[in-house]
Every structure is written in C-alpha cells, then in structure tokens.
Amino acid sequence: MSVDGPNIPAVGVLKGVGAAMVNKLERLGIHNLQDLLFHLPIRYQDRTSVKKIAALRIGDEAVIEAEVSVVEIKLGKKRTLLCRVHDGTGSLTLRFFHFSAAQKNSLSKGKILRCFSEVRPGPNGLEMVHPEYKGLDDELPTPIEQSLTPVYPITEGLQQNRIRSLMQQALRWLESGELAELLPTELRSQWGLPQLGKSLAYLHAPPPQADRELMATGLHPAQRRLAFEELLAHHLTLLNIRRSVQQQGAPVLKAPADLCARFLSQLDFTLTGAQQRVCAEIATDLTKGVAMLRLIQGDVGSGKTVVAAMAAIQAVENGLQAAIMAPTEILAEQHYLNFQKWLAPLQVKVGMLSGKVKGKKRALQLQNFASGEAQVIVGTHALFQEEVRFFNLGLAVIDEQHRFGVHQRMSLREKGKNGKLSPHQLIMTATPIPRTLTMSAYADLDCSVIDELPPGRTPVQTVVIGDHRRDQVIARVRKACLEQRQVYWVCTLIEESEVLECQAAEVTAEQLQQQLPELKIGLIHGRMKGAEKVEIMQRFKGDAETAASIDVLVATTVIEVGVDVPNASVMIIENPERLGLAQLHQLRGRVGRGSVESYCLLLYRAPLSYTGKQRLQIMRDTTDGFKIAEKDLEIRGPGEVLGTKQTGEMQFRIADLQRDADLLEQVQSLALQVNTDPQLSAAITRRWLGTGEQYGQV
Ligand code: ADP
Ligand code: MG
C-alpha cells in the first residue's frame, strides 16, 4: 500500500445510498467514506442506561421503561394522543400530535415500552413529546445501547437515524483498517496523539462513561488529534506554496545605494528604528535571487508607505519597475501624489492607473508601463487587467490589504512574470493580525512587524457617548472647527445595504449643514464616481496651492482605509456598535496623525447591549492595534478577522483556529519535520484539502 492509502470509496458503495442520498450527503460536503467519518457529531445522547421516572428532571434526555396505564385522545384545537405510563417509581405522559389509528391501538394498557426523549413539563407533571419508543413484551430481551448515541449536523430530508446507520457501515469499513494512519508512530508518541482510526471510532461511538462535557468543548484528545492533523495539512499546503515560490527565480537586486540615500535625505523625517529594521529585512530579501514574499504588519499610522517606497526605489535603482497596488481609488490617488512628491525630485517617473483613468490618458499610461517609461506604477485592482503589460516588473507591493487570499497573492505574481523570473512581493496589512492567525493563515509568507509609531504622536482620546447627547457632540464639532481643526463624521451601515448607508450619509450631511451653517460640510460615499471622491478628498486635504475648503467631511466607511489627512483631528463614528473592532480601529486611525491632540467620539445608539458596551470600552481603553485584533478574534472569530469568511478559504472541518490556537506551535514544528518527506506531506494535504484547487496550487 502506498503512503496515500488506497482510494477511498465513494458514499455510493454504502447499502441504501442511492442518487437522492448522494445528493443530500454532498450538501454536507460528504463525498466518500472518509468525509463521512470526518463528519463529527455535534453532541451525544446517553441511551446506555434506563432511568427511573422518579429520578427524571426537566430537560433530561433519558431512556425509561414503563407500563402503559391509560391511552386517550384529547380533542380540542389539535387532536392529541396522550399515553400515561408508570414504572413503579412514578408516572409520566407521552404526548403525540401526529399519530395513526394503528399507533393508538398498539399502545394498549399493560404494554411495556422503552422510550427515549427529552423530559418536559406538562399540565399533569412530566411529559415526553413524540418520544422514540418500542414495545418490550417480546420474548427476546431488547439490548440497551452500548455506547453514547451521536447527534450529527444534518440537512433537510436526512434523518439522524439514517446518518447513524450509514456511519455504522463506515465504521465497519474503518475497522477493516482501510483508512491509512498517516502520522508516523514516533511522531504520534512524541506529540501524544492517539491513532486516527481509534479517535474516529471513539467519537462516533463513545463508551457510556465518556466525558460528554469535554467533548462538547471540542477539547477531547480524540477531537484534538483530528484538529491537529487538519491544521497540519493546512500548514503543509502553505509550506508547499512557499516552496514553489522559492523555486522561482527572481531578479537579484543590488543593495540600496545612492538613490535610496537621496530619497531618505529629502524626507522631512527620519525613519523609526522599526522602519529601518524592516527596510533592511526587505533589502536583504531583494538581493537573494529568490522571489520575496513578505508580509509587513504595522499598526495604523506606523508608516508603512515609506517602507514600500524604499523597496520600490531599490528596484528602480536596479533598472526594474515597481508596482504599488491599493484597495481603493482614494488610496491609490493618495499614494500617487505621495510618490510623485517623493520621486519627482529624484527624476523617477511615476505612473498611475485606476478605473477613473480613461481614454487617451489611459492609453498613454499603458504605453508607459509597457515601454518602461513609468518606473514606479501606482494603481488599484485595475493593474490586474488583461491589457496591462509591464516592461520589467521587479517588485509588486500590495498595500492595506487584509482581505487578500492566497489566490490573489499568486495571480499578481503570475501577472508580473518576466520570462522565468517572478517579481518580488511585499504585502502590507491594513490591520494587525493576531499572531496565531499569522502563523496559520500566512505561513507561506515571511513576516516583518513595524512595532513602533513615529515620534510625537499623541494617542487619540476616545469617548463613548450615547446619541441622546448628540447636541453636545455637535457643539464640540463647532468648537474644533473654529480652532482650525477638521472633522470626519462617519455614518456606518444601518443595514447591509450600501444604498442605505449612502442615504444616511446624505441626510446627515444636510442636517449638519443646517445645524452648523457657519461651517463647510462635505460628503463622500461609495456610490460617488471615483473622480468625484478623489476631488472631495482633495478639497478636504488641500495642497500646496489651495487651502482645505471642507471643515467637516461626512463619510461612509469608504474612508476606512489608508487615508492620511494630518490636520483632521476629530472623528465622530455613528453607531460604532455595528462595526468590528478592527474596522473601528482602522477608522479611528484616520485621526491622530498630526501633532495636536485628537479625539474620537463613538456615538452609539442607546441602549447598548452588554457585549456592545464591552467592545466599545476596549476601543476606549486601548489604541494598540494588536491588542484590538486579539479581542476582535475572540469576539468575531477568524473568518471575519481574516476576511476569508466570504471566500471560503481557511474553513476547517474540525479544527477551530481559536479553540485550537494552542496547537499551532506544535503544528508548525511538526510541519517542518513532515515537510522533509514530500510524499507524506502530499498524502496529508490531499486527505484534508483534496487536490488543493481551493488554494489554486501552483
Ligand atoms: P500606515 O502605516 O498607516 O500606512 P502611513 O504610511 O500612511 O501609515 O504614514 C502615516 C503618516 O506618518 C504619514 O503622514 C507619513 O508621512 C508619516 N510618517 C511615516 N514615517 C514617519 C516617521 N518615521 N516619522 C514621522 N512621520 C512619519
Ligand atoms: Mg497605509
């Protein structure tokens, strides 16, 4: 037998599984016997012993054996069959809303029944509603269950009993030893992991004394063992991707020289220690001739842009192009202006492409990219388009992107391929990502952290305030503007609708204009055209020639990412309770960029739930993005934090990144061991992730 084990039979081989059942099982992601066995119970029932009626409590799920004393049909709004049973310690009513005449007749006085159901309160004491039951007066004793009864996640038209009986068949197949144990014995004993087969058998049919509470938390060793292997498979996939990247050659760039030095000397600040360290890490990567794949994590305002600029200049210094991709038009525009300002004095040509660049201008830009005339290229997703050709892309930077899957990481690399050489890649996160997630979601990347803010920043003061005090908030806005500050007023999603969000912003802008006639109120939202948005931002920010002409910018969350207007020092966020913490942090990061004291007012709609209150308190108490990200992970889970919930990436069958976070370190080191055996590694990843199309294997 190869290490992959034999082919796993499809569910169709099971007795009683026809096309209709195949479909139902497919809905649960179950295609073959292995999938079926990985479909774990959500909980268990204990039918292994018969309970006395006197000992039952409301809410218990229990087996009883009792004799029928009275059977009657109660008429009323709903015909009901009531059957009174007793077992010598007490009595109880069985209640049926749906029943046949035959059923009624079979429940005759004196008959002994074994019933299982949840115990509920009724008008005459305890009841069981629609219990499962069978008669016991046969000659043969009916055996009681030997193991706990599993309750599975099911889908419409698939009953528990059906899936249980299919599972019984799958367990017999498992017993025959057909499912390969992939983890070598030494590794299993080193990490204290039970066998795969034993773990599965245990979880589908636990012995009566099994710790149900422990299993309910998902922390039973048998469950951990499976989670462990799944996390391992996931990790190995990322390591594979990484290995394939490392096999791709990339241009060798000489270390930063004169141009970089000139760039640094013309900045009006010096790099922080953290920025210098990260720049050095990148510079070293770029000299290696292996495609760099590095993630830069840094809190909002930690100065990631200038780090990207340094890398871009190193590429230019080596005669190659660099591209910087931003997630929004506003941000692309802002980067374009910054890079222009920084690079024009160095005679470096900057190009720009986004949806709003059209017609002749667009043609010219495209021509400049293809001819190499443009050395640094800034843009939005438009850079991905078919028509875009680079002359010799040496570096691709992806900014402010936490909603960025493995797929996209790879497609940009493809795009920039130049002969056999791949461009180097730098990815900059929009928000810090908790360490446990970085370890698992970004195992294919090297990671640098900018863990220091530029000096002279005063932390933003955050105030949590109810909307009954809106007038005071408005007074505060007036005062701030009279002191020449600028204000963001953010309207958040009221329902899951961009249209409504934009309408809310429009209404708010009108109201504020009435309440604050002496101020200039601007409006920006996601349904405006790209050019219009850019113009509004321009008027809010001002430039060397024209002073800013907007005092208060009413905005939807379009301004969430990256926007940098240092004179804006007050932010109001309406209904902050509707947003995730990371998003609030990201929004709040728009203020506190200058040297004046900044404020963020979280204007919530009262009353606030207990957790709502707690979450806003976290925002009030800390401005540390890493701490906030940890809390966000606790509250909302990894799918939301990584933004992979929609893409379906990072979805596990059994593992839970949060619950199993403590396994990740072991997983990581075991992955390195396993990775030295490509066959084994392939078998494990194939088992859990199929052929890997989910990751778009390279
Ligand atoms: P982010 O990491 O959020 O992308 P930016 O790159 O937009 O942050 O930088 C935020 C602001 O800080 C910008 O105005 C930038 O010019 C400024 N900045 C960056 N590095 C430094 C530094 N070392 N000292 C002072 N200001 C800096
Ligand atoms: Mg940024």
Separation of 298 CA from ligand 1 center, angstroms? Answer: 11
Q: Give the residue among 553, 482, 561 at the shortest CA–CA distance from 524.
A: 553
CB 113 within 8 A of CB 146: no
Q: What is the pLDDT of residue 217?
A: 92
Which pLDDT band, with edges at 50, 70 and 90, does 319 fall under? very high
pLDDT greater than 90 at residue 613: no
Position in ligand 1 atom list of the atom nearest CA 304: 2
Q: Please count the residues of the chain.
A: 698
pLDDT greater than 60 at residue 548: yes
Mean of the pLDDT values across residues 168-193? Answer: 91
The amino acid occupying position 491 is C
Q: Which ligand has an atom closest to residue 309 CA?
A: 1
CB 89 within 8 A of CB 106: no
368 lines ligand 1 (CB under 6 A): no
What is the C-alpha to C-alpha distance for residues 312 and 377, in angstroms, rounded to an integer?
10
Q: What is the pLDDT of residue 647?
A: 47
306 lines ligand 1 (CB under 6 A): yes
Percent of the chain with pLDDT over 70: 91
- Among 246-255, 484-493, 542-551, 632-641, whose mean pLDDT is lowest? 632-641
What is the C-alpha to C-alpha distance for residues 207 and 145, in angstroms, rounded to an integer?
10
Mean of the pLDDT values across residues 159-183? Answer: 93
Regarding predicted confidence, which is higher, 351 or 533? 351
Residue with tokens 């109880």: 92
pLDDT greater than 90 at residue 336: yes
Q: What is the pLDDT of residue 659?
A: 86
The amino acid occupying position 336 is Y
Mean of the pLDDT values across residues 467-476? Answer: 93
Which pLDDT band, with edges at 50, 70 and 90, does 698 fall under? very low
To the nearest 10°, report the CA torsion of 243, 244, 249, 252: -40
334 lines ligand 1 (CB under 6 A): no
Q: What is the pLDDT of residue 191?
A: 83
Q: How far is CA 194 from CA 69, 336, 660, in A?
A: 50, 56, 16
Side by side, the strands of the sheet bearing 521-524 are 461-466, 599-604, 568-574, 486-490, 552-555, 521-524
What is the C-alpha to C-alpha distance for residues 586 and 555, in angstroms, rounded to an integer?
14
Give per-residue pLDDT as tens, 52-86: 999 999 999 999 999 999 999 998 888 899 999 99
What is the C-alpha to C-alpha distance for residues 466 and 603, in angstroms, rounded to an integer?
6
Q: Which two tokens stand for residue 61?
A: 């799920």
Q: What is the pLDDT of residue 69?
A: 95
CB 420 within 8 A of CB 446: no
DSSP code per residue over 224-272:
HHHHHHHHHHHHHHHHHHHHHHHHSB----PPP-HHHHHHHHHSSS---
CB 313 within 8 A of CB 375: no
User: What pTM does this model have?
Assistant: 0.72
- Among 315-319, 413-417, 582-586, 604-608, whose mean pLDDT is lowest? 413-417
Give per-residue pLDDT as tens, 519-535: 999 999 888 887 888 88
298 lines ligand 1 (CB under 6 A): yes
User: Whose CA is closest to atom 4 on ligand 1?
Assistant: 304
Q: Which ligand has an atom closest to residue 567 CA?
A: 1
CB 401 within 8 A of CB 324: no
Q: What is the 3-state secondary structure (H, E, C) of 652-669?
A: CCCCCCCCCHHHHHHHHH
In this structure, what are the phi and psi dihedrals at residue 10, rounded to the nearest 5 degrees?
Answer: -75, 160
593 lines ligand 1 (CB under 6 A): yes
